[in-house]
Amino acid sequence: MAELYKRLIEYENSGYYPFHMPGHKRNPESAEGILARVYGIDITEIDGFDNLHQAEEIIEREQKRATALYGAEKTYFLVNGSTCGILSAVCAVCGKGGRILMARNCHKSVYHGTYLQELEVAYLYPGLWKECGAAGEIEPESVERALRELPDVEAVIITSPTYEGVVSNVKEIADISHKYGKPLIVDEAHGAHFGFHKDYPENSARLGADIVIHSLHKTLPSMTQTALLHVNGNLVDKRRLERFLKIFQTSSPSYVMLASISSCLDMLEKEGTERLERLKERKGRMAEKIKGNSFIKIGERKGLDPCKAVIYAEKGMLTGQQLYDILRKEYHLQMEMAAGGYTLAIFSMMDTQEGIDRLERALLEIDEAVKADDISTGKEKWIPLDMNCRNETVMSIFAAYEREQELVELEKSYGRTAGEFINLYPPGIPFVTPGERLDEKMIDILLSYEKAGLHVQGIERGGIRVIKDA
């Protein structure tokens, strides 16, 4: 049993009466069923349980275990998701008003970090995964070019793997960044399972990245919001990083979450490789069968994370949303997300053979239905979700957020400057950021997404926030 979890159970049964937070007082009358049972071990920082913000005892020991498992120099537990790790990382490596070099397909938390530090942003544009219209890798040469041209860049940040499992060459990007004396942050939120099996990608802490952020909850058995931040080398001021972690993490960390992290590490240590092997075999068998399909495919690409399946219909026979809806309504299979041309399934070492069999059966049957013309296909053309939007920057995100704004109809916003992020969630990657010009092409794309039934965040009641007088 994981040490932290064991200690919580012992405390629950110890007879100590809680004249402290939380207000449920571990009283079973506070809630019903499972929730009441969880309350039994739901404490925050009390005697004997160390302190997340100054870990010296049990949390420190557990953090060191994670450090060793991932091959980093220091690891921090996060209970506010990768989001708080990314915010802390961006704020720690960049000074107020500085400049960051970031992949355009970064998660919105990176953009929020640039707002908080009032940063100027230079973008790295990923390639395009043409088959399904998702973002590809960040090419190391583009990092080299940008760093040569922009000596005032303070740090580089990329997302690898992407939501869809595309992995960039982190080793080469880290080497280039270091040649220019810049720290590399890798948002590896979707890759917490990397580095535990030879047929899965290596984790970026071992590949030379200076800061790596992992959402344990995304692909490992751990509670929602649990994450890790690893730090390496001398390019990052660790005291400054810790200051920001104190700012962005709650002062009342949930010990249920911390115990979940501890239990996840236990599983990784003892069974991680074996379980990843089992997943690889099971998913591999399914993928082989689907290869025989005429229309419904699983995307393939060199170096792809085996924990993802990008499912798409060839020749645009079905949109991502249609596939997502059929799988949910007809087969009770809930996908992670729908994009223009594909739907995304996430796998983890905890998937069952039964679950994978159900997906296989569904994809074989949908393919048959498409062949037999039993489902309406090809009527709603999908437009690739181009995350590489190269909009004109009129002002920084910070400047745009600070300016007076107004709501205008989408059709009437041509030429105006956006006052809000516009994105799909998931994946939360912006098509438009505050401060960028809304040109005709972008408005047409946004209108088509709306028409295709995709839920576009940043469009409210058919309107869009723009900067007044700009």
Binding site for ligand PLP (CB under 6 A): 81-83, 86, 107, 109, 159, 163, 187, 189-190, 215, 227, 426-428
Beta carbons of 393 and 444 less than 8 angstroms apart? no
Count the alpha carbons within 13 Å of 325 in the hemisphere toward its beta carbon. Answer: 11
DSSP conformational letter for 190: G
- How far apart are alpha carbons 121 and 104 in whole angstroms? 10
C-beta of 98 vs 428, nearer to ligand PLP = 428
What's the chain's Rg over C-alpha atoms? 23
C-beta of 248 vs 312, nearer to ligand PLP = 248
- How far apart are alpha carbons 242 and 249 in whole angstroms? 10
- State the minimum distance, in angstroms, from the CB of residue 225 to ligand PLP: 7
C-beta of 113 vs 195, nearer to ligand PLP = 113
Please tell me whether residue 104 adopts helix, strand or coil conformation.
coil
C-beta of 186 vs 317, nearer to ligand PLP = 186
Closest CA to 364 of 286, 463, 466, 458: 286
- State the minimum distance, in angstroms, from the CB of residue 95 to ligand PLP: 23
- Nearest residue to the partner ligand PLP, using Cβ: 81
DSSP conformational letter for 49: S
C-beta of 428 vs 463, nearer to ligand PLP = 428
- State the minimum distance, in angstroms, from the CB of residue 214 to ligand PLP: 9
C-beta of 256 vs 317, nearer to ligand PLP = 256
C-beta of 257 vs 466, nearer to ligand PLP = 257
Cis peptide before 306 (omega within 30 of 0): no
* Burial zone of 112 (CB within 10 Å; 0-12 exposed, 13-18 middle, 19+ buried): middle
Determine the residue type at 462: G
CA 261, 307, 350, 42 torsion-angle sign: positive
Beta carbons of 362 and 333 less than 8 angstroms apart? yes
- State the minimum distance, in angstroms, from the CB of residue 428 to ligand PLP: 6
- State the minimum distance, in angstroms, from the CB of residue 192 to ligand PLP: 10
- State the minimum distance, in angstroms, from the CB of residue 467 to ligand PLP: 27
- State the minimum distance, in angstroms, from the CB of residue 107 to ligand PLP: 3
- State the minimum distance, in angstroms, from the CB of residue 102 to ligand PLP: 12
> In angstroms, how far is CA 248 from the centroid of its own chain?
17
- State the minimum distance, in angstroms, from the CB of residue 86 to ligand PLP: 6
- Cα angle value 335/447/436 (rounded, 5°): 100
- Cα angle value 287/289/290 (rounded, 5°): 65
Count the alpha carbons within 13 Å of 43 in the hemisphere toward its beta carbon. Answer: 24
Helix intervals (H) in 291-413: 320-331, 353-371, 397-402
C-beta of 85 vs 272, nearer to ligand PLP = 85
DSSP conformational letter for 436: B
C-beta of 83 vs 177, nearer to ligand PLP = 83
